[in-house]
Structures are given as C-alpha cells and as structure tokens.
Amino acid sequence: MFKILVWLAGTMVMTGTVIAQGKVEIDTSTWSTQPGVIGTVLLSVLVLVVLAYLMVVRLNKLMNVSEKVKWTNEREDLKSDLINLEREEVDELLERRKKAGLYRLRGNEIGGELNFKDEKGLIRKITKSPHNPLVDDKKSGKLKVETDDRLIRLIIAYVVAAAFWLIFGTLIGQYLGMKFVWPEMDQQPWLSFGRLRPVHTNTVFWGWASLGMLGLGYFVVSRTSNRSIFSYKLGWWTFYLINACVVLGNIALMNGLNNGGGEYREYIWPVMLLFAIGLILALINIYKTISLRNTVEIYISNWFILAALTWTTVLAIIGYLPFYQEGLGETVIQGYYMHQGVGMWFMTFTLGLVYYYLPASLNKPIYSYSLGVLAFWTQMLFYTLIGTHHFVFSPLPWWLQTVAIVFSAGMFIPVLAGTTNFMMTMKGSRKAIEDSYVLPFMLVGVIFYFVGSTQGSFQAFRFTNYIWHFTDFNVAHSHMTMYGIICFFLWGGMYSLLPKLTRKEPNQLAVGMHFWFAFIGLVIYMFSLMIGGTEKGMSWVDGQPFIDSVRLMAPYWLWRAVGGSLMFISHLVFGYNLYQMVNGYRIGRKRNTKIVKVKKDEYARFS
C-alpha cells in the first residue's frame, strides 16, 4: 500500500512539471485541470456548504421560535375569551378538560403485532430500536463535574491568560490588516509591519493556543487517568514561564531584537528557553500523572498529548542550536521547525483534546478506538518529514523536496482516519448539535481539520506551489488551519468544560454571536486571500510588473480587513462569555473524590 501511495503521490506532484537538463519548466496553460487546484476548489465549496447548512438550521430554529410566540398569543386570546363566558359554559369546559386529563394511554395504541394502515399519511418513521445510539436524538444534560479546587484554579488561570493573549494578539493582527488598506496610518518604528507581525504570530501561538491547550489538557489527563495531577506546583511553574516568555519576547520584538528570519522562532533564545523549560515541566507533570493512573489502559487522548509535548521539547531545542543557524542547513531546520510547531504541537495536542471533549459533549463514546490509533501513528510517521515542501524550487536537494511532497500526500491517511472517526461519533446527533452551543464549534473544527489539512497536502504539489508560494494564499491557508481547526476546537472545549467546573453558564445569545462572527469572518478572510493570492501568482507567471500584483490585491485586502474585524469582534465576545463563566467563582471545601480502579475487561465513561 505504501508503494502505491508513493507512486500515486509522485504522479500527482509531477503533473504539469517538465525537467530538462536541470531546468524546471511549468506549463501553466492547464492550471485549471491540476489535481491540487481542483481539490482546493472542492474543499472550498465544502466549507460554503457547511456554512449554508448551519445557517439554514439556525433560521429554522428562529422560525420555530416565531411559531411558539404565535401559539402563546393565541393562548392569551383564548384566556380573554374564557373571561367572557357564562358560569355554566365554564363549568362544562372544565368538566371535559378534567376527563381528558384523567385519560391514560394503554401503551399499545400505535404498536402491536397486526399490520398497520396509514391511510392519512401520519406516520413518518417506524423503528424496532428506538434507543439506537447511532440514530437516536439526544440532548446533552447540564452535568456537573466534581473536581479538585486546585485543578479548577489552575485551569481557570490558563484559560483566562490564553483569552487575554488571544485578544491582545489579534488586536495586533487587526491593526496589521488595516495597514494593508491604510499603509501610512503610523510612522513609529515599533509599530512597523516587520516588528508587529511576529508579535501577532508568536502571541497567538505561544500565548493563546499553547496556554489554552495545556489548561484543557490538564483536565483531560486527570480525568482519563482517574487521579489528580501529579504536581500542581509544576503546573503553576509552567504557567508563569510561558507567560514570561510571551511578555519578554514581545517587548524584545517591538524594540527590534529578534532571532533573525526564522518564522515563528523570532523570539531570541534566552526568551524561548523559558518556554522550553515550561514545556519540559509540563511533560514531566503529565507523564507522571499518566504513569500513576488508576486505570489499566491509556486513553487515546493521552497518546496525542504526550507525543505533542515530547516532539515539541525536541523541536524547541533543535530549532535554536547555534550550528543550525546558517546557510541551507538553517533553511532545512526552518521548514522542520515551522511545520512541526503547527503539526506536532498544536495539531497533535488539540486532536488529543477532541478525542475527549467531543464524545463527552455528545454523551457517547468515540466511534472507533482503532481509527484513533491509526490516525496517531500515521501522523507520527508522515508529519515529521513534510517541512521542506515550503521550499520547493529552492536550492535544497531535489530529492528532499520530493520526499516532503510525497509525505504531504501521505497525510491524507491520518486526516481521513481522524475525520471519519469524529464524523461517525457525531452521526445521529443532529438534534444535539442544533440544541448545543458547544457542538457547532466542534463541527466546524472537524470540517476545517479535513479541509485545511487536505488543502495543505494539495498545496504541497509542485504546480500549486509554483502558483501560490510567496502569495497571500499562504496566509489564507495558515488561518484555515490555526484558526479554523485549533481555535474552534479550543473554544468548543472551553465552553464544554468551564460551566461544569464553575456552575456558571454563558449567555447563549453571546455564544451564538461569538460563533457566527468567527465563522463568517474566517470565511470572508480566507476566500478573499485565496482568490487574490491566485490572481497574484498568475500575474507573476505572466511576467507582469510586481507593482501590478500589489494594485490588484487592494480590494482583496479590504475584504481581508472586513473578515479580520468580524473575527476580532468575536474574540471580544468570547472574552465576555469567559468572564461570565468564571466571575465570582469561589474555592469551596476540598472535595473527597472516590477513586475507582477500572479492570481490563470493564469500561468507564468519563464525563
């Protein structure tokens, strides 16, 4: 199977590419028939279909609400009519109502052994298994979770700090997006694009996403291990070190002090060392918690979380080794660092969270443990060698570029395995998704996990790389993955967990505003830059002056600012919702949680 995959990937990546005497020639006349382009278009249509579906569902619920209001008005009219009735008429109505209230069904009115006749077409569905979990409509209950107060405080601290960095980091991003429309809006060196752009990316990477993942991860590890966290002190040390890293790193960047041209590793090494130490402490803490678990098996979430911490610890060290900071070796390490940071830290850790919070929100087990194991090991295999696809047609060895492209195609396996697992877990839960403010975030995260990851594999092909590299299309892709996948999954986890811990529910209208502003804003943002990036790349291929590509991007940058504004507003609403969920939380008495050992042939449902 692996040989077939390599052959297929090689055929696809070489389509439209001619190699003659060491010179690469690209035939752009067939660009619309290239596999990568066709695949990207189909995936984009899928996003629009999901957006339309969710909007129809919500509009339908609004119509149902209006019908309920109409029914209420009719009931009030009936009350006013009753007031005008004579006493005898009222007594007669009450007697008939009393008889109707005393009537009881015998249980066999709509069932039995006889053949049925539905002459009026009233029966919509017949089933012999009304409680089948695959088709039964469920509505999640408001389950309260008894949790150690020390863990609750730790989680709240991580999530609140993460939300602060999200708002701060995207405020910088919003400002940068506006500078594309009004480039002369400031003259200060510390507000220049070159200084603020890494502040934006590093803040949302190491501040928002990393702290958010760790906060949610501590609960998952504790819950699935059926024991308390090994050391809360280590958890707090990790919290302080990562926050210190982001604060000091941003101050250095805004003063022009950075690590050079390495994307996502602009923090200088003494600052990033704080993050690495915090990461090692988190790895020790979580590893010891799992190793001392009170269950026999290690739940699949913990596989992903431990792998993410292990890989990223190695990554943070390799990315800053001094003998890898020069020449083409630095370029290879940059591709490795950049893609491992996204794939083996954010993606791997977040997938571990999804394997817990998605089934917990649906109150049903994950569809297939085996698919989870397949997704895990193929992710470990393929994701580790794809970083060089960012440097196709560079002076790096051609074979190294080809390996990266082939392994990018290999990523279809873990993505399809994970997406299938998540979608099959949600199968039969449409009503729960409609009635929940958590599950829509999870659904959008799953869709973007499939769309963003698959589109990234298509973009690695040589032809699509030739058209889209160095254009705004890459910015669209990065937001499709880091925002569409990571952010939506984290929000879903936070809205799922915090009300159970603090006993405080957010305002559902505000949660809906958060969801729709973020989703619609992201769609506007990514489509504007995908279309504009394609036009820019084609103008370069046609040999047009560079300034022409700048001019043609002007309307797309305006739409980028519109989409970014909606996304930023959603973050402010999220901050308000978070405040509602954690404000006023008081530490209660220490709860004695009973520890139950689960035998190998038994199953435990974690809530």
User: Which has the higher per-residue pLDDT, 565 or 340?
Assistant: 565
Distance CA 487, CA 168 (A): 15
Average pLDDT (302-313) is 94
pLDDT at residue 233 tops 90: yes
CA dist list (Å): 249 to 163, 194, 201, 253, 553: 18, 15, 12, 6, 32
Q: How confident is the model at residue 280 (pLDDT cuts 50, 70, 90)?
A: very high
* Residue located via tokens 């009026």: 120
The residues, any chain, with a CB within 8 Å of residue 384's CB and separated by 6 or more, are 311, 340, 344
Is 252:267 a contact under the CB 8 Å cutoff? yes
Asked which of 102-116, 238-252, 377-391, 412-426 is least confident by mean pLDDT, the reply is 102-116
DSSP 8-class letter at 598? B
Highest mean pLDDT among 100-109, 161-170, 339-348, 499-508: 161-170
CB distance 480 to 526 below 8 Å: yes
* CA atoms of 529 and 518, how far apart (whole Å): 17
Report d(CA 440, CA 538) in Å as an integer: 37
**Is the pLDDT score of 297 beyond 50?**
yes
Single-letter amino acid code for the residue at 418: G
What length is written for the chain?
607
What pLDDT, on the 0 to 100 scale, is given for residue 107? 57
Helix/strand/coil for 23: strand
Kindly tell me the burial class for residue 382, based on how many C-beta atoms sit within 10 Å of its own C-beta (0-12, 13-18, 19 or more): buried
Can you tell me whether residue 469 is helix, strand or coil? coil
Reported as a single tens digit per residue, the pLDDT across 393-410 is 888 899 999 999 999 999
Place of tokens 């660092």: 337
Q: Is the pLDDT of residue 98 over 70?
A: yes
Residue written as token pair 């060196």: 189
Query: Of the ranges 23-37, 314-328, 443-457, which is most confident?
Result: 443-457
What is the CA angle 371-377-380, rounded to 5?
135
The neighbour count for residue 117, using CB atoms within 10 Å, is 7
Residue-level pLDDT at 7: 43
Residue 597 per-residue DSSP state: P
DSSP code at position 31: G
Stated pTM of the model:
0.81
Q: Name which of 31-45, 441-455, 483-497 the model is least confident about.
A: 31-45
pLDDT of residue 387: 85
Nearest to 159 by CA among 208, 206, 201: 208
Q: Using pLDDT thresholds of 50, 70 and 90, give the confidence band for residue 252.
A: very high
pLDDT, tens digit, 9 for 90 and up, residues 341-370: 888 999 999 999 999 999 999 989 999 999
**pLDDT 10s digits, 217-226:** 999 999 999 9
Q: Work out the angle between the directed axes of helices 554-582 and 508-541 (0-180°, nearest 10).
A: 160
* 253, 245 Cβ separation under 8 angstroms: no
Most confident range (mean pLDDT) of 88-97, 110-119, 352-361, 460-469 is 352-361
| pLDDT(124) > 80 | no
Residue with the larger pLDDT of the pair 433 and 78: 433
What average pLDDT does range 110-136 have in this prediction?
A: 54
Mean pLDDT of all residues belonging to the chain: 83
For residues 224 and 296, what is the distance between their CA atoms, to the nearest angstrom?
11
Buried b (16+ CB within 10 A) or exposed e, 157-187: bbbbbbbbbbbbbbebbbbbbbbbeeeeeee
Mean pLDDT (whole number) for 48-68: 75
Task: Count other Cβ atoms within 10 Å, centred on residue 307.
Answer: 20
pLDDT tens track for 511-550: 999 999 999 999 999 999 999 999 999 999 888 999 999 9
The answer on pLDDT for 589 being more than 70 is no
- Name the residue with higher pLDDT: 203 or 60: 203
CA dist 479 and 419 (Å) reads 19
Give Cβ neighbours of residue 215 (< 8 Å, ≥ 6 apart): 154, 155, 156, 157, 158, 159, 162
Confidence (pLDDT) at 539:
92
CA angle 463, 466, 467 (to 5 degrees): 95
How does pLDDT run across 430-449, given as a tens digit for each residue?
888 888 888 999 999 999 99
* Sole residue written with tokens 């889209």: 468
- For residue 606, what pLDDT band results from cuts at 50, 70 and 90? very low
Reduced to 3 DSSP states, what percent helix, strand and coil does the chain have, rounded to the nearest 5? Answer: 75, 0, 25
pLDDT at 155: 96
3-class secondary structure, 360: helix
Q: What is the predicted pLDDT for the residue at 11?
A: 44
174 or 58, higher pLDDT? 174
pLDDT category at 590 given cuts 50, 70, 90 is very low
Q: What CA–CA distance (Å, rounded) separates 586 from 589?
A: 10
The percent of residues above 70 in pLDDT, for the chain, comes to 80
- Cα 283 to Cα 384: distance, rounded to the nearest angstrom: 20
- Stronger pLDDT, 562 or 73, i.e. the higher one: 562
| Per-residue model confidence (pLDDT) at position 12 | 46
Crossing angle, helix 149-181 and helix 232-254, to 10 degrees?
Answer: 20
Assess whether pLDDT exceeds 90 at residue 475. Answer: yes
